[in-house]
Amino acid sequence: MSTDKIYVFDTTLRDGEQVPGCQLNTIEKIEVALALEELGVDIIEAGFPISSPGDFKSVVEICKAVTRPTICALTRSRREDIECAAQALQYANVGRIHTGIGSSDIHIINKLRTTREQVLEQAAWATKFARNLVGDVEFFCEDAGRADLSFLAKMVETVIANGATVVNIPDTTGYCLPDEYGKRIKYLFDNVPNIDKAIISVHCHNDLGMATANTVAGLKNGARQMEVTVNGIGERAGNTSLEEVAMVLKSHSATLNLHTDINIKKIYPTSRLITRLMRMPVQPNKAIVGRNAFAHSSGIHQDGMLKNRENYEIINPHDVGIPESLIVLTARSGRAALNYRLEKIGLKLSKEELNEVYIKFLELADQRKEIYDEDLLEMMGLSNEGKFYEVESVKVECGDGGSHAIVKLKKNGEIKIGESKGNGPVDATIKAVKSIVGQLCHLEEFLVQAVTGGSDDLGKVHIQVSNKGAFYYGFGADTDIVIATAKAYVDAINKL
Ligand code: KIV
Ligand code: ZN
């Protein structure tokens, strides 16, 4: 069965990078663009060149660094924006200008303070002007999700007649319901006479949590390009997640008959890269790439998982580049999960032994919430000493001139002392730990959470480290977040 290709237009570096705190420098943007190329995206929206000299330079450098994907630059429908974008794209193998204007009456009246007629004129002019500068022009009808349908159809017809190769129908405010957004796309296919001369693109925001559903609805109704970001980062509640739609199309390929050229094995490594560079943690329960997306914690699920992964997983984590599913031990876990985790640390028990140990396990799990390998060893009466590092003490001085940490770790009954300076208490502490244990791994993610929000609160630190392509989690909790950090880092090191 032949399936239609969906072009993947990645806007992590434009709609994603606009998010406060997610700004990248040019070197980091190039690193992201190269990762997106490896991931298999077709178009990279590299920036908004007129917005700043830094953005202009980044678009230029990305054009030079990237070979296969089309490089796209955003503009308003203004002469200076379009000329600037064309100049920034001069080194691209294939460059695209993405220009556009508001299409809803809300935007036309309240934002542009003009009329539908003038907007159409401007749209026609901008498309034609851009087409004279580059061969590939995408036009966005901003706020198309709330636009009057017959006016939207007129706008799409006009820009195609003036040379648009792609027309973007954004649900800018994330307002549409999936069936309504799908109907909008269908309406355009039924009412725009020249629609076969361009690709229709879907660009959805997640204000009501429906960006993925809306994107899929648009594709089902004829759109052949989707605009997405890695981890769904983007304005306000974010954009459609690349990984979610790529996996929807893959998981439902038999019914949807659509495919992308995304190399799905690269999904998780790319997600980690974006998290690290943009300092934007992924929510633990995020589909596909969240820490818990392949973690099983209830006894019934764990038992089913251990009998056959497919009982509770519709995606094999290996397929998206995640090392393994996790069986998390809590008081809800059953004997099967406990046995699995004991076997993983080399302990094989008879049925009777397991029954006995399970009672002890439940008592411990009720106290500790989650049970780690060290807890299992302790429970089994096997000393950790000689095998694992333990945090004995952490002392940090911090202030304007930077931080200084002294960390004591215990291993094999012996106390080892490490000390280091750092650009803050956390940095100094991790460096002090490294001065004892060596550079065993790369820090991938560092997440601090307060449990209730008060200043006397317990701080929880989740750390992820990588070593030779494998990822390990570490967890630490303390009323002092620096001590929690040391505990989390040491926990991750112990798992290597
Ligand atoms: O959401 C939106 O409408 C946009 C356009 C600039 C394409 O990001
Ligand atoms: Zn957007």
Closest protein CA for atom 4 of ligand 1: 172
Closest-approaching ligand to the CA atom of 168:
1
Mean pLDDT score, 435-453: 78
Q: What is the CATH number for 465?
A: 3.30.160.270
Output the pLDDT for position 400: 81
- Whether the pLDDT of residue 481 is over 80: the answer is yes
Centroid of ligand 2 to alpha carbon of 204 (angstroms): 7
Atom of ligand 1 nearest to the CA of 170: 3
Do 229 and 361 belong together in one domain?
A: no
Closest-approaching ligand to the CA atom of 142:
1
The Cα 147–Cα 203 span in angstroms is 14
Do 309 and 331 belong together in one domain?
A: yes
pLDDT-based confidence at residue 381 (cuts at 50, 70, 90): confident
What tokens does 366 get? 């009720």
Query: Is 359 or 466 the better-scoring residue by pLDDT?
Result: 359
pLDDT-based confidence at residue 475 (cuts at 50, 70, 90): confident
- Whether the pLDDT of residue 472 is over 90: the answer is no
Closest-approaching ligand to the CA atom of 235:
2
Closest protein CA for atom 1 of ligand 1: 172
- Whether the pLDDT of residue 117 is over 70: the answer is yes
Do 213 and 250 belong together in one domain?
A: yes
Centroid of ligand 1 to alpha carbon of 79 (angstroms): 19
Helix, strand or coil for residue 265?
A: helix
Cβ atoms of residues 11 and 41 within 8 Å: no
Rg (CA), the chain: 26
Mean pLDDT score, 437-461: 76
Q: What is the CATH number for 45?
A: 3.20.20.70
Output the pLDDT for position 454: 67
32-77 residue pLDDT tens: 999 999 999 999 999 999 999 999 999 999 999 999 999 999 999 9
Give, for ligand 1, the residue of 43, 168, 169, 215 to mutate: max count of ligand atoms closer than 8 Å to Cβ. 168
Domain limits for position 364: 295-379
Atom of ligand 1 nearest to the CA of 74: 6
Output the pLDDT for position 453: 58
Centroid of ligand 1 to alpha carbon of 366 (angstroms): 49
Atom of ligand 1 nearest to the CA of 144: 3
pLDDT-based confidence at residue 386 (cuts at 50, 70, 90): low
Do 307 and 429 belong together in one domain?
A: no
- Whether the pLDDT of residue 273 is over 70: the answer is yes
Residues of the chain above pLDDT 90, percent: 81
pTM for the model stands at 0.86
- Whether the pLDDT of residue 452 is over 70: the answer is no
Centroid of ligand 2 to alpha carbon of 276 (angstroms): 22
Lowest mean pLDDT among 163-172, 369-378, 415-424: 369-378
Do 124 and 247 belong together in one domain?
A: yes
The Cα 39–Cα 9 span in angstroms is 12
Do 442 and 333 belong together in one domain?
A: no
Whether 289 maps to a domain, the answer reads: no
H helices of 279-321, in order, are 299-307
Residues 52-63 as b or e (16 or more Cβ within 10 Å = b): eeebbbbbbbbb
**Residue 29 CA to chain centroid, in angstroms?**
15
Query: Which of 379, 404, 424 is the endpoint of a domain?
Result: 379
Closest-approaching ligand to the CA atom of 238:
2
Give, for ligand 1, the residue of 203, 205, 240 to mutate: max count of ligand atoms closer than 8 Å to Cβ. 203
Residues 6 or more apart whose CB falls under 8 angstroms from that of 31 comprise 273, 277
Q: How many residues does the chain have?
A: 496
What tokens does 74 get? 């955003």
Cross-strand partners of 73: 47, 97
Give, for ligand 1, the residue of 11, 104, 140, 176 to mutate: max count of ligand atoms closer than 8 Å to Cβ. 140
For residue 277, give Cα distances in angstroms to 30, 131, 404, 474: 11, 35, 25, 20
- Whether the pLDDT of residue 445 is over 90: the answer is no
The Cα 215–Cα 200 span in angstroms is 12
Do 163 and 243 belong together in one domain?
A: yes
Centroid of ligand 2 to alpha carbon of 205 (angstroms): 6
Do 271 and 299 belong together in one domain?
A: no
pLDDT-based confidence at residue 451 (cuts at 50, 70, 90): low
Do 183 and 322 belong together in one domain?
A: no
Centroid of ligand 1 to alpha carbon of 368 (angstroms): 47
341-378 residue pLDDT tens: 999 989 999 999 999 999 999 999 999 888 988 889 88
- Whether the pLDDT of residue 340 is over 60: the answer is yes
- Whether the pLDDT of residue 443 is over 90: the answer is no
Residues 6 or more apart whose CB falls under 8 angstroms from that of 222 comprise 185, 186, 189, 200
Query: Which of 278, 303, 320 is the endpoint of a domain?
Result: 278
pLDDT-based confidence at residue 476 (cuts at 50, 70, 90): confident
Whether 485 maps to a domain, the answer reads: yes
Whether 287 maps to a domain, the answer reads: no
Whether 284 maps to a domain, the answer reads: no
Mean pLDDT value across the chain? 94
Query: Which of 322, 348, 379 is the endpoint of a domain?
Result: 379
How would you class 449 by CB atoms within 10 Å of its CB: exposed for 0-12, middle for 13-18, buried for 19 or more? middle
Mean pLDDT score, 271-285: 92
Do 303 and 428 belong together in one domain?
A: no
Whether 218 maps to a domain, the answer reads: yes
Mean pLDDT score, 459-465: 83
305-314 residue pLDDT tens: 999 999 999 9
Atom of ligand 1 nearest to the CA of 14: 8
Antiparallel, parallel or unpaired: β 4-5 and 7-10:
unpaired
- Whether the pLDDT of residue 385 is over 70: the answer is no
Closest protein CA for atom 8 of ligand 1: 15
Using the structure block, give the residue that is written with the tokens 């304007």. 400
Mean pLDDT score, 426-452: 84
Whether 283 maps to a domain, the answer reads: no
Looking at the 3D structure of the chain, how many domains does it have? 3
Atom of ligand 1 nearest to the CA of 15: 8
72-92 residue pLDDT tens: 999 999 999 999 999 999 999
Protein residues with CB under 6 Å of any ligand 1 atom: 15, 140, 142, 168, 170, 172, 203, 205
Centroid of ligand 2 to alpha carbon of 28 (angstroms): 22
The Cα 141–Cα 123 span in angstroms is 9
Whether 15 maps to a domain, the answer reads: yes
DSSP H or E segment with residue 51: none
The Cα 128–Cα 40 span in angstroms is 30
pLDDT-based confidence at residue 384 (cuts at 50, 70, 90): low
Do 366 and 394 belong together in one domain?
A: no
Atom of ligand 1 nearest to the CA of 143: 3
Atom of ligand 1 nearest to the CA of 11: 8
Whether 285 maps to a domain, the answer reads: no
Centroid of ligand 2 to alpha carbon of 387 (angstroms): 51
Centroid of ligand 1 to alpha carbon of 241 (angstroms): 15
Centroid of ligand 1 to alpha carbon of 101 (angstroms): 9
Residue 298: count of CB within 10 angstroms of its CB: 15
Do 342 and 242 belong together in one domain?
A: no
Using the structure block, give the residue that is written with the tokens 């089994």. 380
What tokens does 68 get? 């296969």
Centroid of ligand 1 to alpha carbon of 3 (angstroms): 28
